[in-house]
């Protein structure tokens, strides 16, 4: 009954197998090897983006920070949701990397409101030195609130960004879950909807520690590479990052794992919603669930070995993963109901 | 015949096995798991340093940069050898992380001359705001020139650093090779000789991408953790970094691999030195060799599939690894001699 | 009828005279001259703070940024009002200098609400690396909303800061006006109320471009000096900054100028409040006034040569200075009333 | 007998008069006033550069750092002389502002050797992420060694910079002295010789604290303005910086002062060279002189009230200014000869 985070699960077999498969002989370092080239192509194919620049890094923090730093100037404002991970959980890393400032955009259920975004951007005056200059917009899908930006909702945000000439970045730490939840293709949920750069998360979906950064327009690729180097994120043995993605995507497991995680959350939601005194927050769409539990239920669950965090407002955050079992869910529900 | 770098070798079996061994069940993220605690203890034991703060990161660049940033102030001068990796091959990353300035100390065969170090430190006036303030000293062992700082030579550098109240950092990308070459213990070659912080390299010795940072004085540990987070280097699934070290050290392979690599370089050196027109640079002590080869020999070797770099001055740099075979060496020698 | 800002006024005679007075012979540079020492003492006396470290810089931006950077760590959160100048009008300079993050605290009429401050600080978890660490609190007095923090209100903010062990900085761009408005002494409105560092503004009060930074605890003085140097703010001919302060304070003009500016704003407020259709925002305490004017009145005033800015919400911001005349005010009122 | 630095002299009368002249009425802040526009035009005329972007800042440190940061990328190498002021006396400020790295170019008498510059630039490999990328070249004229780059010598440096596509910056803290010494016009010694950006120093030539930054190509002007703001260097009352330049240049005093300072140094050199046991360093061209003096002579001079610094190698550095008198020089010579 481990629901604290999807980053606590082990790696699925296809990932371990892929690591073994590339562990043969010498390979040129720093990304100049055939394994890395192959994994780049796998990602391009998956996103129907033959021209995209694709890079592998090891953490979601750096995937987001390098992406934003590459497209937003030193004096840039990066617009994000009030509760975005980049604002709340990165110890200021986005400011360190970009040199700029996050500006917060409100919106219900973890999604920026397009009108609020427009107003926030208008608040920063281009050409006036006293004001940080509009730099980029970043959205998280699946959001920090466990909700989904549909293709339509993504388009609405992109429309505002484009109207102001701003690049749109997607923090896709749980992008696989978003694809599974939306039924859209990776392309539909990104560049076809107006997203310019994606942090395509692997770690929360089962990888050891691997994220892909995708620039659909490769214009600033070398700048990204320099920033990656200068922040200590250029791996010498890149094949071991690349292989994880290759193995994970090869037979479609990236998506079946995500669909499984989503299903486990839905199972929890369904079971918990029936319990008197328990409230499930609306619009949960993927593998994150916020559930209001009576205090004594929380204690009872924890005593029984369930692991999860409480949000400030007494909602429990339950996160499922590829490794969550039906039994985990059912036991949790039964305990909560007892 | 791959001699371009030791970072191009695959991972030895014990490392792959260790990864599989920890790939079981859920584990708390961000270093709060039993695997990581165990690997920290393994390192403390290896260095006879029960109080040390030990952290796992994924690249040598960041191991060095975070170490230096933690101990040298924003306005600090970091003293290093003229040809140190931190000066020549990091795209300015040390300045990015520390906020300060590298100041170069000459010395033969890749080792700083203690007198030159003393003079360089005296050149920066403490208390005078026009001058960067002495911040830290960093040495590389095995040096970029392929030579060794013996325990005595390390002590001599440490004595200068201590006389000025400066912390001493060791860039140990090839520390295993230094231990194997010196016959000293890890403790003797580090804290017993006056080293305060070590970047203990694993990647060049066989790991996928794992380095340990060791603070013998744990006073600034939390500051290091904050800097690691803010630079995007905090892994969620830390167990997979920790396991690599644990597997590598468990049966002493870290050292036997290094000894093997050193022996392969010695074999190359011995064979090549006998060839007329070929000169082996003096004082090679471990797994890096600089060899002056006639231009046509270089071409011939490369045509035959040998991979290696030329230094600016026409010396070939030959690097061996745990995966280098006697046959690789002998074929190279035979081709060079032909 | 110039009401756009108090930084558009010329310098009063005593400032020009003081510059002439020190323009004699050679003087050691970088603050090591008798003129600077004398002006430092003048400030210490004014604040009844014989131990204070006092520095002269040339802009309010840098006075605030260097102050905060000196006391808040790289990973520090600086808590300020939602509409603080450091947040809205500095193009991200505070983040550049401190390395950290501004976190916004709501509150009516430009003053932080102490309870909201307490909640904001509690939101950042000390010891948790994902969260910026509480670093410092900064308040502006006179606030950006034209209101005053009384001694009591300052104490209430200081109590929260102290309860969390945080230093309290005062952005005193219009500190002279605050002293004049409050009737308190500089000491009562600062260190006696719990303020640790003051940016004591001179420019808006009549100086050419001079601000004093006052650390009541001089512990971090040398660190400030290094930061000042590294940001290009160490003047060689410091006597010309120091002299401005000395001349301005000598006969108490700093305060009489401020009292005059406040009186001119009060005169405006009184006159405008009587005009039907015109609304004066409440709690104006010093030399900044927010006044709701009918659109056609704005146009008429501007055509007649009145200079002032409109806030986003259609309130006009009227700022008076030492150089504002009764006639300026009366003409403005008459035009608005016509 | 004050020869410690030219930044210790007072301001000449025309500068004080110019400050008084602009001290009338209200003026729009932040450079949007008629005084500033007029001073910009004066500088454009002086440099025969009608399109140039011209900015006024208050210190030489920031003039150089903002100039370099605007034209060299974050990962840029700035090539300068081994003993350049930016390397030795700025506490790392150039690295703070640019984000990059200074790389040192040797050369006799304070001038970079063009061949050494070419070699240094070639050492940094464009397109290779391990290496900082060539960013800019900066020369100081008058050099830190007191020597002049003639038009020809400037052209030689510019030719190397241009061959590598690099912008050339001139640290002109003593540019007036260089113009006076060379007999060339400001245009001939800058853009006509290939200089792209000039830090035109006023402070050492008599101003209170004012430097002009000149971009002959105004393309990056707004970027400079943002960087100036973010570093706290945007003055509100810009007229007081601008007026200093206007007054100083109006009747040609900027040049007559410099010529006077140069003449005083020449007088010193001539007199001192005749004294047995005293050696004047060769190629002194302007207002800085390095003179080897016997130790007892140094003591005697200092006892008699002469103020000057000793370089590490026992040479005294003597700097003259517009305020140095013939009598100062003659007394110094007489004392040294006694």
Q: Does residue A249 surpass a pLDDT of 80?
A: yes
CATH code, domain with A328: 3.90.1150.10
B48: in domain: yes
For C131, counting Cβ atoms within 10 Å of its Cβ (0-12 exposed, 13-18 middle, 19+ buried), the class is buried
Instruction: Establish if A16 belongs to a structural domain.
Output: yes
**Would you call D50 helix, strand, or coil by DSSP?**
coil
Query: Do both B245 and B264 map to the same domain?
Result: no
* Cα dihedral value C258, C259, C263, C265, nearest 10: 20
- Could you give the count of Cα atoms lying within 13 Å of A144 in the half-sphere of its Cβ? 18
Q: What is the DSSP letter of D136?
A: E
Q: Is the Cα dihedral D173, D58, C212, C74 positive or negative?
A: negative
**Residue located via tokens 């016997």:** D294
Q: How far apart are CA C120 and CA C278, in angstroms?
A: 36
- Confidence class for position D100, pLDDT limits 50, 70, 90: very high
Beta bridge partners of residue A101, listed in sequence order? A77
* D227 Cβ neighbours under 8 A, 6+ residues apart: A74, A75, D66, D69, D70, D97
Q: Say how far apart CA C186 and CA C48 lie, in whole Å.
A: 8
How far apart, in Å, are the Cα atoms of D96 and each of B93, B95, B109, C91?
13, 9, 32, 18
Predicted pLDDT of residue D125: 85
Number of H helices, E strands in chain B: 14, 11
- Mean pLDDT, range B235-240, rounded to an integer: 98
pLDDT band at A314 (very low <50, low <70, confident <90, very high): confident
The average pLDDT across D259-287 equals 97
| pLDDT(B239) > 90 | yes
Do C311 and C233 belong together in one domain?
no
In a domain, residue B1? The reply is: no
Residue D138, pLDDT score: 98
| Cβ atoms of residues C178 and C141 within 8 Å | yes
pLDDT score recorded for residue A71: 98
User: Which pair of structure tokens corresponds to residue C86?
Assistant: 């450091």
User: For position B68, which CATH number holds?
Assistant: 3.40.640.10
- Of A336, A296, A292, nearest to A315 by C-alpha is A292
Degrees to nearest 5, angle at CA D164 with D158 and D165: 80
Q: Which of A325, A331, A315, A252 is nearest to A83 (CA)?
A: A315
User: Do both B20 and B168 map to the same domain?
Assistant: yes
Q: Where residue A126 falls among pLDDT bands split at 50, 70, 90?
A: confident
Which residues touch A25 (CB under 8 Å, ≥6 apart)?
B10
One domain for residues C309 and C223 = no
Q: Which of D221, D250, D279 is the last residue of a domain?
A: D250
pLDDT of residue A125: 85
Confidence class for position C313, pLDDT limits 50, 70, 90: confident
Residue C318 included in any domain: yes
If asked whether residues D241 and D318 sit together in one domain, one would say no
Rg (CA), chain C: 20
Which uninterrupted H or E stretch holds A116? helix A114-123
Q: Which pLDDT belongs to residue A102?
A: 98
Mean pLDDT over D123-150 rounds to 96
**pLDDT recorded at residue B49:** 98
Interface contact D225, partner A, CB < 8 A: yes
Per-residue DSSP letter, C219: G
Q: Environment class of residue B311 by beta-carbon count within 10 Å: exposed (0-12), middle (13-18) or buried (19+)?
A: exposed
* Number of domains chain B is built from: 2
Regarding whether A206 and A312 lie in a shared domain, the answer is: no
* B105 domain-assigned: yes
Dihedral of the alpha carbons of D246, D249, D250, D253, in degrees to the nearest 10: 140
Question: Which whole-number Å values give the CA distances from B260 to B141, B202, B322, B326, D247, in the listed order?
Answer: 17, 15, 6, 10, 75
Rounded (5°) CA angle A80-A81-A85: 85
Residue among B129, B222, B229 whose CB faces C229 most closely:
B129
Dump pLDDT digits (tens) for C31-70: 999 999 999 999 999 999 999 999 999 999 999 999 999 9
Contact between C76 and C136 (Cβ < 8 Å): yes
CA angle B36-B40-B42, nearest 5°?
115
Instruction: Please name every residue paired with A66 in a beta bridge, in sequence order, or none if there are none.
Output: none
> What is the pLDDT averaged over residues C323-331?
98
Q: CA of C304, closest CA in chain D: separation in Å?
A: 16
Nearest to D129 among A129, A130, A225 (CB): A225
Check pLDDT > 90 for residue B280. yes
- Chain C nearest CA to A70, separation (Å): 18
Interface test with B, best of D88, D92, D104, D133 (most B CBs within 10 A): D92
Q: How confident is the model at residue D50 (pLDDT cuts 50, 70, 90)?
A: very high
Chain centre distance of CA C327: 27
The Cα D338–Cα D335 span in angstroms is 5
Residue D217, chain C, CB below 8 Å: the answer is no
State pLDDT tens for residues B176-190. 999 999 999 999 999
pLDDT tens figures, D178-209: 999 999 999 999 999 999 999 999 999 999 99
Could you tell me the pLDDT band of residue D312, with boundaries at 50, 70 and 90?
Answer: confident
Residues C85 and C198 in one domain: yes
Given this model, what pLDDT does residue C54 score?
98
* DSSP bridge partners of A310: A316
pLDDT given at position B298 = 96
Q: pLDDT band for position D313 (50/70/90)?
A: confident
- Chain position carrying tokens 């007036």: D176
pLDDT above 90 for A312: no
- Chain-centroid distance of CA B336 in Å reads 29
Distance CA C102, CA C94 (A): 8
Identify the weakest region by mean pLDDT among A47-56, A164-173, B122-131.
Answer: B122-131
Distance in angstroms (rounded) separating the CA atoms of residues A43 and C155? 58
pLDDT at A313: 75
A263: tokens are 């299903």
D129 phi and psi, to 5 degrees? Answer: -70, -15
Does the beta-carbon distance from C130 to B229 stay under 8 Å?
A: yes
How far is residue B240 from each of residues A14, B13, B15, D276, measured CA to CA in Å? 16, 15, 10, 75
A1 lies in a domain?
no
Taking the CA of residue B199 and the nearest CA in chain C, the distance in Å comes to: 22
Asked if residues A176 and A169 have their Cβ atoms less than 8 Å apart, the reply is no
**According to the model, what pLDDT value does residue C10 have?**
98
Note whether A22 and A133 are same-domain residues.
yes
Asked if B95 lies within 8 A of D90 by C-beta distance, the reply is no
* Domain end (from C213, C233, C250): C250
CB within 8 Å: B230 and A92: yes
E strand segments, A128-196: 133-140, 168-172
Cβ neighbors of D270 (< 8 A, separation 6 or more) are none
Nearest CA in chain D to B101: D92
- Residue owning tokens 């691999």: B257
Q: Of the candidates D220, D250, D280, which is a domain's last residue?
A: D250
Say if D4 falls within a structural domain. Answer: no
Q: Determine, for residues B226 and C130 on separate chains, whether the beta-carbon distance falls below 8 Å.
A: no
pLDDT recorded at residue A311: 87
Longest CA span, chain A: 62
Tokens found for residue B139: 């040495």
What's the rounded Cα separation, in Å, for the pair C179 and C166?
24
Q: Which two tokens stand for residue D66?
A: 């903002």
**A31 and A112, same structural domain?**
yes
Cα distances (Å, whole numbers) of residue C210 to C58, C59, C192, C244: 4, 6, 25, 7
The answer to whether the beta carbons of residues C231 and C62 sit under 8 Å apart is yes
DSSP-assigned letters across all residues of C101-125: EEEEE--GGG---HHHHHHHHHHS-
Contacts B5 to A, Cβ<8 Å: 29, 236
Q: Taking the alpha carbons of B291, B296, B302, B304 in that order, is the dihedral positive or negative?
A: negative
What would the pLDDT profile of A148-160 be if each residue is shown by its tens digit?
Answer: 999 999 999 999 9
- Give the domain range for residue C262: 254-337
Quick one: tokens of D173?
Answer: 């803290």
Task: Report CB contact under 8 Å: C90, A129.
Answer: no
* pLDDT given at position D314: 81
Residue D6 lies in a domain: no
Are C243 and C260 contained in the same domain? Answer: no
Structure tokens at A274: 């029936």
User: CB–CB of C53/C215 below 8 Å?
Assistant: yes
Q: Look up residue A259 and give its two tokens.
A: 């669909």
Lowest mean pLDDT among B193-202, C308-317, D159-168, D237-246: C308-317
Is-contact D239 D297, C-beta < 8 A?
A: no
Q: Give CA–CA dist A319/A307, Å, rounded.
A: 10
CB D198 within 8 A of CB C198: no
Chain B contact set for A16 (CB, 8 A): 19-20, 23
Q: List all chains that touch chain D, counting a touch as 3 or more CB pairs closer than 8 Å.
A: A, B, C
Give yes or no: residues D61 and D200 share one domain.
yes
Residues of D in contact with B91 (CB under 8 A): 75, 129-132
Q: Are residues B24 and B115 in the same domain?
A: yes
Tokens 């102030």: give the residue.
B73
């Amino acid at each position: 009954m481990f629901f604290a985070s999807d980053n606590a699960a082990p790696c699925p077999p296809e990932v371990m197998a892929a690591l073994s498969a590339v562990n043969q002989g010498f390979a040129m370092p720093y990304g100049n090897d055939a394994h890395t080239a192959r994994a780049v192509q796998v990602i391009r194919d998956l996103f129907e983006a033959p021209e995209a620049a694709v890079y592998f890094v090891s953490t979601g923090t750096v995937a987001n920070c390098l992406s934003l730093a590459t497209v937003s100037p030193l004096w840039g404002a990066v617009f994000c949701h009030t509760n975005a991970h980049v604002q709340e959980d990165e110890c200021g890393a986005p400011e360190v990397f970009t040199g700029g400032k996050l500006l917060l955009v409100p919106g219900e259920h973890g999604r920026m409101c397009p009108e609020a975004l427009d107003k926030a951007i208008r608040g920063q005056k281009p050409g006036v030195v006293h004001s940080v200059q509009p730099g980029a917009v970043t959205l998280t899908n699946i959001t920090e609130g466990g909700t989904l930006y549909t293709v339509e909702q993504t388009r609405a945000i992109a429309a505002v960004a484009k109207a102001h000439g701003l690049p749109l970045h997607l923090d896709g730490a749980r992008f696989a879950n978003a694809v599974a939840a939306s039924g859209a293709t990776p392309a539909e949920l990104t560049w076809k909807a107006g997203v310019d750069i994606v942090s395509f998360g692997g770690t929360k979906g089962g990888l050891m520690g691997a994220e892909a950064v995708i620039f659909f327009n490769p214009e600033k690729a070398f700048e990204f590479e320099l920033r990656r180097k200068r922040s200590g994120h250029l791996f010498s043995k890149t094949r071991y990052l690349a292989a994880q993605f290759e193995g994970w995507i090869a037979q479609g497991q990236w998506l079946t794992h995500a669909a499984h995680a989503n299903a486990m959350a839905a199972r929890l939601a369904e079971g918990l919603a029936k319990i008197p005194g328990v409230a499930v927050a609306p619009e949960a769409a993927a593998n994150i669930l916020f559930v209001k539990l009576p205090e004594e239920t929380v204690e009872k669950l924890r005593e029984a070995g369930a692991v999860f965090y409480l949000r400030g407002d007494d909602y429990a955050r339950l996160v499922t993963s590829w490794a969550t079992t039906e039994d985990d869910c059912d036991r949790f529900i039964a305990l909560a109901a007892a």
